[in-house]
Structure 1
Amino acid sequence: MAGTASCTAAQGGLLMGLVDHCHGRDPALVGWFLAGRLASYTTAGALLGLLGSAVSLPPAARAVLLVAAGLTVIVFAVRLMRRGHCAAAPEAGAPSRYKAPLLGAATILVPCGVTLGMEMIAISSGSPVAGAAAMAGFVLGTAPAFALLGYVLRRVSRTRLARLAGVVAIAAGLWTAGAGLTLGGWIGGTPPAASRPSPAAPGSGEQIVTVWATREGYRPAVVAARAGAPVEVVFKLVDRGCTGTVTIGGRDVALPATVRLPPQPKGSLRYVCGMGMYAGFIDFS
């Protein structure tokens, strides 16, 4: 259920590309979209199982792809809102049958929290068969939600609700792009002053801080630690979702986990969930 909700929200906007013209109302196009998604995820799972983390995208690259995906969804939404006259020749619909599987395959580039978790399972499997099976099973499990979304979009595109759907899609595109900017550290780089805790007591030994990953974000959002001393960050998982994978120090970590950091200078260290939705800070002082 968590995978269905988060991935449909993060990746479903690409379905807008199938309903912006009259030919996009063909129900078979949603099937081609799902087929492309299955093919790309299965291939990625096999590669991850065979080669491990060497073929996984670093957080910075995912951030760029999220921004690009958000802008693409916005373009699709604007085209949906501009409902034109359907008078194209029958053969004009042919290119859409190529676009549908390509859009479905492109969803692998728009990460959701559970997708990242499945990718780590594929990496740890050490087997291309097991990795492909894990990713393919995940896609098949979320396929009904994508099929339902495609049906709704095709129905809405024939009514005056298309403009409302376009507005919702624009909001989703802005949200996706914003998540990419957050993941890349281009916005939201400093914690609120009111949330800063008091500095930890001075000392020289290794210190331990605990962060709880919930559906609403990381709690506490800001933790204090001493600068110049090693620190262990214990991430405890409360709920499965986006926060189940954290990006800290330029790498992805599946939770629950303990992350050991070398001595840090004074200032704030920022970490985010794998989708760039939620951020937390360690305040070194």
Structure 2
Amino acid sequence: MTDIHDIGYGRQFADFYDRLFPGGPAVAQTVRRLADLHPGDGAATLELGVGTGRVALPLAKLVGPVVGVDSSPEMLAVLTETMAADGPVTAVIGDGSVAPAVGDPVTPVLGDLRHWADERQYGLVYCVCGTLSMLLDPQEQARAVQAAADRLAPGGTLVIETHNPAFALALNQGRARESYFTPYPGRDTGLLSYSTIDADRRIWHLSHIWFEQGRSRIATELSRLTTPDEVDAYAEQAGLRLVERHSDWAGTPFTGAEPMHVSVYRPADAR
């Protein structure tokens, strides 16, 4: 079994991740767009960095069961608990073939997106919410895109959503260090973030304090400021071509100033 590198994200965020990034209406456009990109005909679906399943669970209702890979046991535990009341859950520990239990909307798989592989081919593979940028080495990012491309069925689609470096730099107002507060619904609830950008290494370090009804939690995360051109280059090396790029899941054109970029790729020889 290949080693799984867990950066510890889930140990810090799992308890309140779904408050930071809620499901339901907040991901409705994401789910609709992914469903539109799905080829149908019973094709398999794979999410790399499934987390708590906030995207995979509603998507499964539209396209059928989803295989969800993540390196965080804590995040997968939340996903498994969410599904447990609805029926059997197959949790695959380690890399390998996946055989979902009957009725499972999502099969949680503990694995490393840089080299995860099984015997299946997938009509849709997606990696969203900045997961690719949590790999801090360009070579590892390229390996992850190659691994995703290797799982595609002929004519399949790969979707990658990650941060836009220009927006992160603007958020810091040209400074190496900045702080900002983001309010959330609920009494005394919000996120205080301390942002540090190492422009030379292109590393974005965020330290957070989550406040909710008089209680607080501390968490930190690192990501690499990854440009759209870099993702395109990884995809090209993996035999894929860019089909479309938008700034959000509603299809808004990407101008280079938006927080995220959403890119859709297909095999270069696909029509």
Shared fold (TM-score, shorter chain, > 0.5)? no
Task: Identify, as 1 or 2, the structure richer in helix.
Answer: 1
> Larger RCO: Structure 1 or Structure 2 (Cα < 8 Å, ≥ 6 residues apart)?
1
| TM class by smaller structure | under 0.3
Name which one, 1 or 2, has greater alpha-carbon Rg: 1
Task: Identify, as 1 or 2, the structure richer in strand.
Answer: 2
